């Protein structure tokens, strides 16, 4: 900036970088496109996996978009905004993370041509807003109601396709729907009530649903029963130990007989705890904290099964599954606080013991017990099950699904192109670019399957225009033909598609509205040995 006498006026700190106008916009667009390109090859059932190795050598192998974007350390601020799109999509729907990022990248790519043609960013963003609103209306029109569990299984199966579950899709889809139905309450599904417990060993096909809870713990004493039928479960958030004072205390005992009475008092205190538990009718004790060795002895003597140091989340899940209450004081336990289960049993899984709480009458929390041959396989199975649970929950809540395999994107794109001509003005150009951008999903699906994307898009558009129910025609990734995806059992929740498009449009608009990037110089740490007390050089004290 210069004053009237052509003297420079310094406004920003020395070393600050500033990009303005088109340069700033194109830099931000390039960064966002780079993020989209990073995950694009993972889209669809034929998508490839990524191997991510962090700084300490931990390896993650996945094709889950949000996992990839969380693991890679993105630095550019515009790129971080695109990563947030994936996180939002994941928290709202559980699936469609790659779709949302790829659409966002393509919207920005299409907008570059408009910016080069001197179409103002405000016009583009306004056109994108109109297109996104119209897209949501079109998706509502083409959605199909969910009226059977069979359709929900297709939703789960679609989410599992392309993940590392092999031929077990149908089985896993069935148990995911069973789990969601078990915790459904008045049309709402709290997916946090479906717990996934994983253990390396056997194969993916041995994954099962347990109407109860599995915890990775063993009983605390070998003399305790390994199996308890008709279990009455006491849940404690406190320790079964002698209470210690909050401040340091020292007890001096001068008489040996007093020592015995001191120890007896401690013993009686622990015995009273166990007696209170026995009196309540409990035959299983689960504690969030520790259980004293002597208390373990008395519990074993009474034939009570006990586990200690459970996670708070596990304790809360057991309370939901068994209709029990978590108690904070052993003296206050009574029969009405106890949870009930058919069987509580410690089973040997591999080399470790795990406790299975099963046979709950009306469990409001259930467990999917996942198995797999290696650590990487079982982690990917867990991610696949999490996605499937979320999408089935969303489908139950909304009661609507759409065909998959690029069908809704092509239908919305065709209708948006017609809608654009009715709007007029320069916004029409932005709406046309929006409709063009949506073609990136079937294009990428075809590309990742080794099919010619141009032929696929042409076939899809032809099928959508010619067939009476053309909105359900997607791309068959084996033949490249346009096929009715409802008959091919490829369906996705309506919310996944609506959220993906709205999130993508919002981040694209936010990036397009930035015309000035001011980057402060990062503070550098002083070189070793520089500076003494108060920042003064050595020897200047």
pLDDT 10s digits, 103-138:
988 888 888 888 888 888 888 888 888 888 888 888
Instruction: Name which residue leads in pLDDT, 176 or 76.
Output: 176
500 vs 18: which has the higher pLDDT: 500
Token pair for 339? 């949870």
The whole-number pLDDT of residue 525 equals 54
Kindly list the catalytic residues.
64, 97-98, 387
Structure token digits, residue 335: 């029969």
Write the burial class of residue 427 (CB in 10 Å: 0-12 exposed, 13-18 middle, 19+ buried).
buried
pLDDT over threshold 50, residue 534: no
Identify the band that residue 369 occupies on the pLDDT scale cut at 50, 70 and 90.
confident
pLDDT in the model for residue 166? 67
How would residue 250 be classed by pLDDT, with cut points 50, 70 and 90?
Answer: low
Q: What residues pair up with 228 in beta bridges, in sequence order?
A: 344
- Is the confidence at residue 539, as pLDDT, over 50? no
Which residues lie closer than 8 Å to 286 by C-beta, 6 or more apart? 233, 234, 235, 236, 306, 307, 310, 315, 318
The residue with greater pLDDT, 165 or 343, is: 343
Query: Two tokens at 268?
Result: 């009686």
Where is pLDDT greater, at 195 or 527? 195
46: Cα separation from own chain's centroid: 22
The confidence score (pLDDT) of residue 255 equals: 65
Residue with tokens 């490829």: 490
Euclidean distance between CA atoms 168 and 41, whole angstroms? 24
Rounded Cα distance, 265 and 271, in Å: 10
CATH of domain 212-362: 3.50.7.10
pLDDT at 540: 41
- Which range among 80-94, 133-147, 277-291 shows the weakest confidence by mean pLDDT? 80-94
Q: Tens digit of pLDDT for each residue in 328-345?
A: 887 788 888 888 888 888
What does the DSSP assignment read for 113-182? Answer: HHHHTT--HHHHHHHHHHHHHHHHHHHHHH-EE---HHHHHHHHHHHHTTSTTGGGHHHHHHHHHHHHHH
Torsion of CA 97, 103, 107, 109, to 10 degrees: 100
Question: Residue 123, Cβ neighbours under 10 Å: how many?
Answer: 16
Cα dist from 453 to 446, 447, 477, whole Å = 5, 6, 11
Local confidence band at 304 (pLDDT 50, 70, 90 cut-offs)? confident
Instruction: State residue 498's pLDDT score.
Output: 87
- What percent of the chain is predicted at pLDDT more than 70? 85
Burial of 187 (0-12, 13-18, 19+ CB in 10 A): exposed
Half-sphere exposure of residue 361: CA atoms within 13 angstroms, side-chain side: 8
Place of tokens 């059932």: 45
CATH of domain 17-144+403-519: 1.10.560.10
Note the pLDDT of residue 38.
Answer: 83
Distance between CA atoms of residues 212 and 342, nearest Å = 10
Q: What are the backbone dihedrals phi and psi of residue 75, each rounded to the nearest 5 degrees, phi first?
A: -105, -40
Q: For the chain, what is the largest distance between any 2 Cα atoms, rounded to a whole number of angstroms?
A: 101
CA 123 to each of CA 115, 132, 149, 152, 482: distance values in angstroms, whole numbers, following the listed order: 10, 14, 45, 41, 35
Computed on alpha carbons and rounded to an integer, the radius of gyration of the chain in Å comes to: 30
Whole-angstrom distance, CA of residue 497 vs CA of residue 93: 9
Find out whether 366 and 237 touch, Cβ atoms under 8 Å: no
Which one, of 364, 359, 460, 330, lies nearest residue 405 by Cα? Answer: 460
**Residue 484 tokens, joined:** 């009715």
Q: What is the C-alpha to C-alpha distance for residues 354 and 348, in angstroms, rounded to an integer?
A: 6
Round the average pLDDT of the chain to a whole number and report it.
Answer: 80
| Range of lowest pLDDT (253-262, 321-330, 369-378, 444-453) | 253-262
The predicted-structure confidence for 65-83, as pLDDT tens digits, reads as follows 777 877 777 777 778 888 8
Going by pLDDT thresholds of 50, 70 and 90, the confidence category of residue 12 is: low
Query: Which range (57-61, 145-149, 449-453, 499-503) has the least confidence?
Result: 57-61
Tell whether the model's pLDDT for residue 499 goes beyond 50.
Answer: yes
What pLDDT is attached to residue 532? 46
> Residue 242: its pLDDT value, please?
67
Cβ proximity of 340 and 322 under 8 Å: yes
Top mean pLDDT of 160-169, 250-259, 361-370, 495-504 is at: 495-504
Q: How confident is the model at residue 422 (pLDDT cuts 50, 70, 90)?
A: confident
Annotate 363-378 with b (16+ C-beta within 10 A) or e (fewer).
bbbbbbbbbbeeebbb
User: 426 CB contacts (<8 Å, ≥6 apart)?
Assistant: 119, 120, 123, 127
Q: In terms of Cα–Cα distance, which of 33, 181, 51, 179 is closest to 109?
A: 33
Task: Indicate if the pLDDT at residue 185 is higher than 60.
Answer: yes
Q: How many CB atoms lie within 10 A of CB 254?
A: 6
As a whole number, mean pLDDT of residues 209-217 equals 85
Give the pLDDT score at 470. 76
Q: DSSP character for 373?
A: S
pLDDT category of residue 258 using cuts at 50, 70 and 90 = low
Q: Measured between alpha carbons, how far is 177 from 182 in angstroms, rounded to an integer?
A: 9
Q: In the prediction, which pLDDT does 535 show?
A: 44
**pLDDT on residue 13:** 59
pLDDT at 541: 37
- Residue of 228, 350, 359 whose CA lies nearest to 286: 228
Q: Would you kindly state where each structural domain of the chain is located, as residue ranges?
A: 17-144+403-519, 212-362
Q: Considering only CA atoms, which of 338, 337, 238 is closest in space to residue 284?
A: 338
> Residue 284 in contact with residue 310, Cβ under 8 Å?
no
Relative to beta strand 284-287, strand 227-236 is parallel
The answer to which of 299-313, 386-400, 467-481 has the lowest mean pLDDT is 467-481
What is the mean predicted confidence (pLDDT) over 487-500?
86
CA distance 105 to 119: 19
Q: 247 pLDDT exceeds 60?
A: no
pLDDT-based confidence at residue 143 (cuts at 50, 70, 90): confident
Tokens linked to 452:
């010619």
Is 50 exceeded by the pLDDT of residue 327? yes
Q: With residue 193 as reference, give the H or E element that holds it.
A: none
The vertex-270 CA angle with 265 and 272, nearest 5°, equals: 90
What is the value of pTM for the model shown? 0.76
Instruction: Give me the sign of the Cα torsion angle 46, 448, 177, 70.
Output: positive
Residue 444, phi then psi, degrees to nearest 5: -70, -40
Instruction: Report the distance separating Cα 124 and Cα 278, nearest Å.
Output: 72
């Amino acid at each position: 900036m210069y004053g009237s006498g052509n003297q420079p006026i310094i406004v920003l700190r020395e070393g600050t970088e500033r990009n303005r106008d088109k340069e700033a916009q194109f830099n931000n667009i390039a960064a966002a496109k780079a993020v989209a390109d990073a995950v694009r090859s993972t889209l669809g059932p034929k998508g490839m996996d990524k191997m991510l190795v962090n700084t300490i050598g931990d390896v993650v192998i996945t094709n889950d978009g949000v996992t990839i974007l969380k693991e890679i350390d993105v630095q550019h601020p515009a790129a971080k905004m695109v990563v947030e799109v994936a996180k939002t999509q994941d928290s709202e729907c559980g699936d469609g993370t790659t779709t949302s990022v790829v659409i966002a990248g393509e919207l920005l790519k299409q907008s570059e041509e408009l910016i080069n043609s001197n179409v103002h960013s405000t016009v583009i963003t306004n056109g994108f807003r109109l297109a996104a609103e119209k897209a949501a209306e079109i998706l509502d029109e083409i959605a199909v109601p969910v009226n059977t569990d069979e359709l929900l299984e297709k939703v789960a199966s679609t989410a599992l396709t392309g993940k590392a579950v092999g031929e077990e899709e149908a089985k896993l889809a069935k148990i995911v729907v069973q789990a969601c139905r078990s915790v459904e309450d008045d049309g709402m599904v709290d997916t946090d009530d479906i717990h996934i417990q994983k253990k390396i060993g056997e194969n993916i096909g041995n994954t099962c649903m347990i109407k109860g809870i599995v915890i990775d713990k063993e009983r605390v004493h070998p003399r305790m029963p390994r199996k308890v039928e008709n279990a009455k479960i006491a849940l404690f958030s406190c320790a079964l130990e002698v209470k210690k004072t909050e401040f340091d205390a020292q007890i001096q005992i001068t008489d040996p007989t007093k020592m015995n009475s001191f120890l007896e008092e401690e013993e009686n205190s622990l015995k009273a705890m166990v007696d209170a538990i026995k009196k309540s009718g409990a035959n299983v004790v689960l504690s969030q904290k520790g259980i004293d060795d002597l208390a373990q002895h008395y519990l074993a003597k009474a034939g009570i099964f006990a586990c200690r140091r459970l996670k708070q989340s596990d304790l809360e899940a057991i309370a939901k599954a068994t209709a029990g209450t978590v108690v904070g004081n052993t003296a206050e336990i009574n029969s009405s606080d106890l949870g009930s289960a058919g069987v509580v049993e410690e089973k040997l899984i591999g080399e470790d013991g795990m406790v299975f709480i099963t046979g709950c009458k009306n469990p409001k929390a259930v467990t999917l017990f996942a198995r797999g041959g290696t650590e990487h396989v079982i982690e990917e199975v867990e991610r696949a099950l999490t996605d499937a649970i979320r999408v089935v929950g969303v489908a139950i809540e909304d009661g609507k699904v759409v065909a998959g395999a690029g069908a809704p994107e092509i239908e919305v794109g065709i209708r948006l192109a017609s809608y654009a001509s009715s709007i007029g003005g320069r916004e029409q150009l932005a709406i046309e670019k929006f409709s063009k951008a949506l073609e990136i999903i079937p294009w990428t699906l075809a590309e990742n399957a080794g099919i010619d994307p141009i032929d696929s898009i042409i076939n899809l558009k032809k099928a959508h225009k010619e067939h009476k129910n053309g909105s359900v025609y997607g791309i068959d990734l084996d033949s490249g033909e346009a096929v009715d995806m409802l008959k091919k059992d490829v369906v996705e929740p309506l919310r996944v598609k609506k959220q993906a498009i709205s999130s993508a449009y919002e981040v694209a608009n936010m990036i397009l509205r930035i015309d000035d990037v001011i980057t402060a110089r990062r503070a550098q740490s002083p070189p070793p040995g520089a500076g003494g007390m108060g920042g003064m050089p050595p020897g200047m004290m």
